[in-house]
Amino acid sequence: MTTGLTVGPTSVGTRWVRLRHLPVPLLAMAGVLVVGAAVAAPLRGLTGVAGVAVGVALVSVSYVLSTLAVAWADSVNPRLVLPVGLVTYVTKLLLLGLFVAALNATGWLGVAPMGLAIVAAALTWSAAQAGWTWHAKIPYVEIPPAEPATETTNNR
């Protein structure tokens, strides 16, 4: 009896299915960058715009790497998704905190716009991905193909 579930490496075509949501939040990141730069330019000048750009880039790279790690884990074994996701989350938060602390120690004036851009980008990415997920038609149960039926009904 087969369950219809596949565990282990899958074909390249099905791996891209795990990444099909990426264009939507990446497009949203472009919007955050444009709006953030438009707000930061008159308030902080080029330093503010650079801060916004760095913040949006950090969130974008961080979320894409997390997505790739979780997609890889799912392609190897679905039971790895939670541990890989948690390790990736903790690692990226630790690295982000260290980066921001080191940058703050330099006295760079773009740290505040960068921090605001990080918050705005993280919230926007989450909302964009949630919106995509709510509207996507994602089957949550794999139904194996039906076996040919044999008609032996002698229940009389």
pLDDT tens profile 89-128? 999 999 999 999 999 999 999 999 999 999 999 999 999 9
pTM, two decimal places: 0.76
How many Å apart are CA 149 and CA 58, to the nearest integer? Answer: 55
CA dist 80 → 20, 31, 70, 72, 84 (Å): 20, 33, 8, 9, 6
Tens of pLDDT, residue by residue over 49-77, are 999 999 999 999 999 999 999 999 988 99
User: What is the C-alpha separation between 112 and 116, in angstroms, rounded?
Assistant: 6
